[in-house]
């Protein structure tokens, strides 16, 4: 299993630790609003990466944090008129509910920043003791120039960094490059904790350094997240953890952005499409399929047309299972096992999901042409690795009224009363059923959900 490592810029093997565990830490959301399709991409990518690794025999452990204390949460809570802790709790629950609907299971651990305060304070204290951080007016800042490796992940040099920030404001920093580890409690902030530097709360980056270590140890296999986190978030995590003597992540993996039009979907751009709405309109299979229809590192275009395509692809796969049963007899030149190997090879090669999906569709096409023993099993297994084996499930049985109409239509057809038969077909369509005639008789299929 090789993944393109952001730090070295090269494909590198994923290395399990001594216990044989592949620890994966993926940055989760800051819960100040419902998550959108773009936020769902890393959730899907890393959930499926864990799934694939497990299917390959690794013991994978996925940790996805929730950042539930943050400036934006204070702001959003205030405008919602509720205490920020309560607001964060509600949004965290909404995040769990929304991602549950993707049907990919939960990460193995989902730590909250607010439940990691003790460890956060301890690490900051350690950094201060080691000379890598300093207290100033109740805040604590990381001393960037004390860490030689700063900039190695995002390929920036400290000399070239924009230092013009906070022009005019009375910064307490020794150096404009320094970033906050701990922030003194301010007016209007209704959550705070005791620390050696007074009441306050953690700044943005520090919680991930601590949570990753608490859940996965001082060194772990993969650290992931959206490409927009490379700088400063992940750069700062490296600085915090490595300055404190940790080996930290052995490989960095970043997913590209979901774009609408030609722009990144982001809450600040206002061009968002909520995950829950996408699930309502297109169904979980189409949403998951859409999110893996492009390589994880590339930007991915989102739009109604793209989602309709995903719905149509799901339908094609579903139709395959409607007409191809498991345990099909016969012989064929087509080797489903070989397809499955190519599918797994594609995933093992920098998690190339579009290439893997092409193998699925190749086999579906082959088996639609001729009966291929084992094809249905292989397709279902491949989809299973991608969390999409629900597509193989048989349709819910039609209700009695629909079945009666279908029988009536069969009678009309037998009597060559096609006008009547077509009228019944329209009636069934209005009830959500599509009639499909075949030599084996007519069947009812649920109409596909379309946006």
Partner RNA sequence: GGCGCCUUGGCGGAGUGGCUACGCAGCGGCCUGCAAAGCCGUUUACACCAGUUCGAUUCUGGUAGGCGCCUCCA
Residue with smaller CB distance to RNA, 312 or 338: 312
Q: Nearest distance from residue 166's CB to RNA, in Å? A: 9
Q: Nearest distance from residue 74's CB to RNA, in Å? A: 12
Residue with smaller CB distance to RNA, 195 or 353: 353
Residue with smaller CB distance to RNA, 101 or 267: 267
Whether cis (ω within 30° of 0) applies to the bond prior to 232 is yes
**What is the residue whose two structure tokens read 């009363």?**
417
Q: Nearest distance from residue 366's CB to RNA, in Å? A: 8
* Rounded distance between C-alpha atoms, residue 317 and residue 362, angstroms: 11
Residue with smaller CB distance to RNA, 93 or 155: 155
CB 302 within 8 A of CB 260: yes
Q: Rg (Cα) of the chain, in Å, rounded?
A: 26
Q: Nearest distance from residue 203's CB to RNA, in Å? A: 9
Q: Which residues contact 302 (CB under 8 A, 6 or more apart)?
A: 37, 38, 258, 259, 260, 265, 273, 290
C-alpha dist (Å) from residue 338 to 6, 316, 334, 342, 360: 32, 22, 9, 6, 11
Q: Nearest distance from residue 52's CB to RNA, in Å? A: 16
* Rounded distance between C-alpha atoms, residue 11 and residue 348, angstroms: 11
Residue with smaller CB distance to RNA, 102 or 435: 435
- Nearest 10 degrees: Cα torsion 405, 406, 407, 412: 90
Q: Nearest distance from residue 161's CB to RNA, in Å? A: 5
Closest of 346, 372, 373, 374 to residue 358, by C-alpha: 346
Residue with smaller CB distance to RNA, 21 or 158: 158
């Amino acid at each position: 299993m090789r993944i393109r490592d952001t730090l070295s810029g090269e494909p590198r093997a994923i290395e399990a630790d001594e216990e044989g565990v592949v620890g994966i830490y993926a940055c989760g959301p800051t819960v100040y609003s419902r998550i959108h399709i773009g936020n769902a991409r890393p959730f899907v990518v890393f959930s499926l990466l864990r799934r694939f690794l497990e299917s390959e025999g690794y013991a994978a452990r996925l940790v996805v944090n929730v950042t539930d204390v943050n400036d934006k949460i204070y702001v959003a809570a205030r405008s919602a008129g509720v205490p920020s802790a309560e607001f964060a709790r509600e949004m965290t629950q909404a995040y769990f509910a929304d991602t549950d609907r993707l049907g990919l299971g939960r990460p193995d651990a989902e730590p909250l920043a607010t439940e990691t305060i003790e460890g956060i304070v301890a690490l900051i204290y350690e950094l201060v003791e080691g000379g890598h951080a300093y207290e100033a007016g109740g805040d604590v800042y990381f001393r960037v120039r004390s860490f030689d490796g700063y900039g190695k992940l995002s390929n920036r040099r400290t000399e070239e960094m924009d230092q013009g920030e906070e022009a005019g404001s009375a910064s307490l920093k020794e150096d404009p490059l320094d970033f906050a580890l701990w922030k003194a409690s301010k007016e209007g902030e209704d959550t705070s904790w005791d620390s050696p530097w007074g009441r306050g709360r953690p700044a943005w980056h520090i919680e991930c350094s601590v949570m990753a270590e608490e859940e996965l140890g001082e060194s772990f296999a993969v650290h992931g997240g959206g490409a927009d986190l490379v700088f400063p978030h992940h750069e700062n995590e490296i600085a915090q953890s490595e300055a404190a003597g940790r080996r930290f992540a052995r490989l960095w993996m970043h997913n590209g952005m979901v774009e609408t039009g030609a722009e990144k979907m982001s809450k600040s751009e206002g061009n968002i499409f909520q995950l829950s709405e996408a699930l309502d309109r297109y169904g979980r299979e189409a949403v998951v399929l859409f999110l893996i229809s492009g390589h994880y590192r590339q930007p991915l275009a989102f739009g109604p047309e793209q989602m309709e395509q995903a719905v149509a692809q799901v339908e094609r796969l579903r139709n395959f299972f409607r007409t191809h049963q498991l345990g099909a007899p016969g012989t064929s030149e087509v080797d489903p096992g070989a397809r499955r190997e190519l599918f797994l090879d594609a995933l093992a090669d920098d998690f190339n999901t579009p290439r893997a999906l092409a193998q699925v569709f190749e086999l579906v096409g082959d088996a639609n042409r001729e009966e291929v023993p084992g094809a249905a099993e292989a397709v279902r297994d491949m989809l299973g690795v991608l969390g999409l084996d629900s597509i193989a499930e048989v349709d819910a049985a039609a209700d009695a009224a629909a079945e009666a109409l279908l029988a009536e239509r069969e009678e009309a057809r037998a009597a060559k009363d096609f006008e009547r038969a077509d009228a019944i077909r329209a009636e069934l369509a209005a009830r959500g059923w599509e009639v499909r005639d075949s030599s084996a008789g007519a069947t009812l299929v649920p109409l596909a959900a379309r946006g």
